[in-house]
A and B are shown apart, each in its own frame.
Chain A
């Protein structure tokens, strides 16, 4: 290695070290920030904003308003025009008062998180937030335009809070994730500039909730997934499932002697004298076990299985799931589907590294 090359190499190393250092510094900073926020605004499913949880600063417009007031002051002084000076003082006082009004308004906001429905990755989930009554400010609600943004993204959505509205107002904030798994819900930044847009109040709220992101469904006909259910097992399970078989109402039919009395529609009997019984449909058409060959790439396999789970569930079939460590016996219904999808989304999750962990690991290695 020539000297020049050595030098270059060294420089490269230096820059990479510097980059890593700056990355580290950022990581430390963000950890510190999140710790500080955790202390200041502790996680809860419901937040009533208080003095401690609100940050406030002038907006860009607010700054230009101040600059305008100062310009008027200078102009007034140079022309020795007291009216201009007085105008600038009034503008500054308006600014000062607006600080309090903005804060007062925002401190009336109280929100409560709604349970968040799981969604597939690369899809947009919605996080619903109910505007509730503030425990200390019962009579007056928060007004104005509420801007919501996730702590880790730039995209923002804004909502108009209606003070006159009698019903409960709900905001739905879209959320996106590109990988399956279970995530803690990031802090939600809510901001409001009511009443004059001179100041912006904001807060970062942690709703102490997790989001479950299902895998992305993938259609691939080439791979055999659905296996017919084993006959011997079916006969064993038959009795247990039949009790469920009569829950879905299907139609009414005439009463035949010997039918159970609890199915008689007594209302109809009392009205017209006709004896009518409820008929229930049997939702189980076919039963399957869903499974894929372990040779296929895990993520791909999970996606394919996800697709099939959704399909089977749509068709009302009874299905089970067997893949690697997952073993779910056949069943049907929404909760069953959810169980299958949850198992798929949590399967073989790589150990998630947090910024401080990354730092310590790095520190240990170096």
Chain B
């Protein structure tokens, strides 16, 4: 009732066009994944913030569908890597291959690009891969480039990794260490759909049809740029700092938030404000994205140390969420 009225800022004409795009995108995604509007918005926030997304869910919840849908909507080049325990880094990144042509000039190494050279990469079941492969992916995510045999290959732009992780207690998985988790901008989990949503999904006839492209390649960059233009006041930044400092000074949080996390919070809040059609970010926006951005960063290492099995992932997840909620509730946004 208040949201629209509460915004006195007039958006510019081009912004209006973007606004329409975003509504359209959300609607299109909503058709594919029913009843998960909040998660879709978060995923979109992540994409607009130029961060990588980690989806943690049981199989069959629509992780793949979501990632596929996102790439389709934005008209991005998409590839999917199914991670298995025997997947080698080179399988993902690519290899130098020696050409045995007739001419001497043909006889040389050429680089065969791996599946990671796509704009949207779905890293499916990331925790099944060996730590070596995991870290190769995470390094590529951070650097946005790949070094093979001394040569550096830039990854395409925009570059967006959606990694999925399977929390069930299955043997032969390698949970991601915290230091690596920090590289994911946010973590979401879709969860089971509501009764009505699932019913609608079951009734849907065109479930398998591909989504039409709504935006072209350049417009995503434009959208990301306008997110940067969203205003964040001192009061808002103070609020974020207070949250982050609380996690550092209170011993209840074994893994305090890093500066990367505070940057992510600011960026996420801006993107959320943008999606919500606002010209400036308010504490509401920080609160909306807070759990998704901080839960996986706050988890304690001791909580799953030594078990060796992945069955604690669920516990870890819920612990992270509890900590994140506790942290959010301990700071009054109006104190800043």
Residues A124-139 near B (CB distance < 8 A): 132-133, 138-139
Q: Which residues of B contact A139 (CB under 8 A)?
A: 249
CB distance from A132 to the nearest CB of B (A): 8
Query: Does chain A have a CB within 8 A of B208?
Result: no
A-B contact pairs, 6 of them (CB 8 A): A132-B251, A133-B250, A133-B251, A138-B249, A138-B250, A139-B249
Docked pose: A132 CA to B251 CA in angstroms = 9
CB distance from B20 to the nearest CB of A (A): 48
Q: Which residues of B contact A138 (CB under 8 A)?
A: 249-250
Encoded as 1 (CB less than 8 Å from any A CB) or 0, chain B from 242 to 285 comes to: 00000001110000000000000000000000000000000000
Residues B220-258 near A (CB distance < 8 A): 249-251
Q: Which residues of B contact A132 (CB under 8 A)?
A: 251
> Interface majority SS on B: helix, strand, loop or mixed?
loop
Q: Which residues of B contact A133 (CB under 8 A)?
A: 250-251
Docked pose: A155 CA to B251 CA in angstroms = 34
Docked pose: A115 CA to B250 CA in angstroms = 23
A→B interface (CB under 8 Å): 132-133, 138-139
Q: Which residues of A contact B251 (CB under 8 A)?
A: 132-133
Docked pose: A286 CA to B251 CA in angstroms = 49
Q: Which residues of A contact B250 (CB under 8 A)?
A: 133, 138
Count chain B CB atoms within 10 A of each CB in A132, A138, A139 and give the residue with the most. A138
Closest residue on chain B to residue A168 by CB atoms: B251
Closest residue on chain A to residue B251 by CB atoms: A133
Docked pose: A133 CA to B251 CA in angstroms = 8
CB distance from B200 to the nearest CB of A (A): 47
CB distance from A212 to the nearest CB of B (A): 29
CB distance from B108 to the nearest CB of A (A): 39
Docked pose: A133 CA to B246 CA in angstroms = 14
Q: Which residues of A contact B249 (CB under 8 A)?
A: 138-139
Closest residue on chain B to residue A133 by CB atoms: B251
6 tightest Cβ-Cβ pairs between the two chains A and B: A138-B249, A133-B251, A138-B250, A139-B249, A133-B250, A132-B251
Closest residue on chain A to residue B330 by CB atoms: A135
CB distance from B262 to the nearest CB of A (A): 19
Closest residue on chain B to residue A138 by CB atoms: B249
CB distance from A287 to the nearest CB of B (A): 34
Docked pose: A133 CA to B249 CA in angstroms = 10
Closest residue on chain B to residue A135 by CB atoms: B250
CB distance from A265 to the nearest CB of B (A): 15
Encoded as 1 (CB less than 8 Å from any A CB) or 0, chain B from 104 to 146 comes to: 0000000000000000000000000000000000000000000
Docked pose: A139 CA to B251 CA in angstroms = 11
Docked pose: A279 CA to B24 CA in angstroms = 65
Docked pose: A139 CA to B249 CA in angstroms = 8
Docked pose: A138 CA to B250 CA in angstroms = 7
Docked pose: A132 CA to B249 CA in angstroms = 13
CB distance from A199 to the nearest CB of B (A): 29
Docked pose: A139 CA to B245 CA in angstroms = 12
Docked pose: A139 CA to B246 CA in angstroms = 12
CB distance from B77 to the nearest CB of A (A): 41
Docked pose: A128 CA to B120 CA in angstroms = 55
CB distance from A269 to the nearest CB of B (A): 17
CB distance from B175 to the nearest CB of A (A): 20
CB distance from A210 to the nearest CB of B (A): 27
CB distance from B330 to the nearest CB of A (A): 10
Closest residue on chain A to residue B246 by CB atoms: A138
Docked pose: A138 CA to B251 CA in angstroms = 9
CB distance from B21 to the nearest CB of A (A): 46
Docked pose: A133 CA to B250 CA in angstroms = 8
CB distance from A129 to the nearest CB of B (A): 17
CB distance from A16 to the nearest CB of B (A): 58
CB distance from A52 to the nearest CB of B (A): 22
Docked pose: A96 CA to B229 CA in angstroms = 57
Docked pose: A291 CA to B77 CA in angstroms = 79
Closest residue on chain A to residue B249 by CB atoms: A138
Docked pose: A138 CA to B245 CA in angstroms = 12
CB distance from B331 to the nearest CB of A (A): 14
CB distance from A31 to the nearest CB of B (A): 38
CB distance from B130 to the nearest CB of A (A): 15
CB distance from A81 to the nearest CB of B (A): 52
CB distance from A51 to the nearest CB of B (A): 22
CB distance from A274 to the nearest CB of B (A): 24
Residues B10-69 near A (CB distance < 8 A): none
Closest residue on chain A to residue B252 by CB atoms: A133
CB distance from A181 to the nearest CB of B (A): 37
CB distance from A270 to the nearest CB of B (A): 15
CB distance from A169 to the nearest CB of B (A): 13
Docked pose: A138 CA to B253 CA in angstroms = 13
CB distance from B327 to the nearest CB of A (A): 14
CB distance from B293 to the nearest CB of A (A): 24
